[in-house]
Amino acid sequence: MIETVVSLQPAFILHHRNFRESSLIAEILTRDFGRFTVIAKGVRTPKSKLGPFIRPFVPVLLSIAGKSELKTLTHIEPWQSAPKLHDLALYSGFYINELVTYFLHPFDPHPEVFLLYQNALSELSNTLELEPVLRVFELNLLTQVGYGLQFDVDNLQHPVSPGKKYCFNAESGPVESEQGDFAGSTFLALEARSFPDRTTLTEAKKIMRSAINFHLNGKPLKSREVISKILKHSHS
């Protein structure tokens, strides 16, 4: 691989873990170069100037260099003010980080996904209704990475009717069925990215969950499991 030098690139840290004595390995999402991994050397020391900025959900500008797949972080500075995520919004943030990590291939540029991600974080910080934000993010993310679904026509190309019942198949979309779990109106709501009531949201969650699980090929989403345990602890 040839030497890459990127300077002051808008980015978000998706996840990081400690490496050796004083370094970090971070998964980052950049605007123009997609998602990849960087090593930040010597940032876990009290004197490090870069260390404090390496945290998830903070929009940063970063510079990297390196010949191998694992790039080295050379500079990082704050870019815009960080969205304030608390409680459920924060846990949802971890969830979308995991989705982005799974669905973007390394070094595959997706400026639109960067924008979607940025918007989703700022919406999560500004609303109490988190579920619509998550559903819209999931839908748009799948569309951007090439797994887009059409919800306004069923598997036989008939338009989805709001009053009828449907099943959901992750490959072919809505399938009309008397015993279906989902109302046609839910699929139309997903298509329109707007959710009028709680029932629709609950159904939309189930539909998106099965679509995402299908594309993950059996890989479990760790954050989903942990978040459900957290909720059990904090609200039971």
Q: Which residues bind other proteins (CB under 8 A)?
A: 14-15, 17, 21, 52-53, 55-58, 78, 82, 86-87, 90-91, 94-95, 97-98, 101, 222-223, 225-227, 229-230, 232-236
Shortest approach of other proteins to residue 94 CB, angstroms?
4
User: Which DSSP helix (H) or strand (E) runs through 94?
Assistant: helix 87-103
Compute how many other C-beta atoms are within 10 angstroms of the C-beta atom of residue 229. Answer: 9
Q: 9, 73 in Cβ contact below 8 A? A: no
Q: How far is the CB of 17 from other proteins (least distance, A)?
A: 7
Closest to other proteins by CB, 170 or 230: 230
63 or 177: CB nearest other proteins: 63
Helix (H, G, I), strand (E, B) or coil at 112: helix
CA distances in angstroms from 16 to 4, 5, 23, 202, listed in the order given: 21, 21, 10, 32
Q: How far is the CB of 52 from other proteins (least distance, A)?
A: 5
Q: Which is nearer to other proteins, 86 or 193 (CB)?
A: 86
**Shortest Cβ distance from residue 56 to other proteins (Å)?**
5
C-beta closer to other proteins: residue 82 or 116: 82
List, in order, residues 6 or more apart from 121 with CB less than 8 Å away. Answer: 12, 57, 83, 85, 93, 96
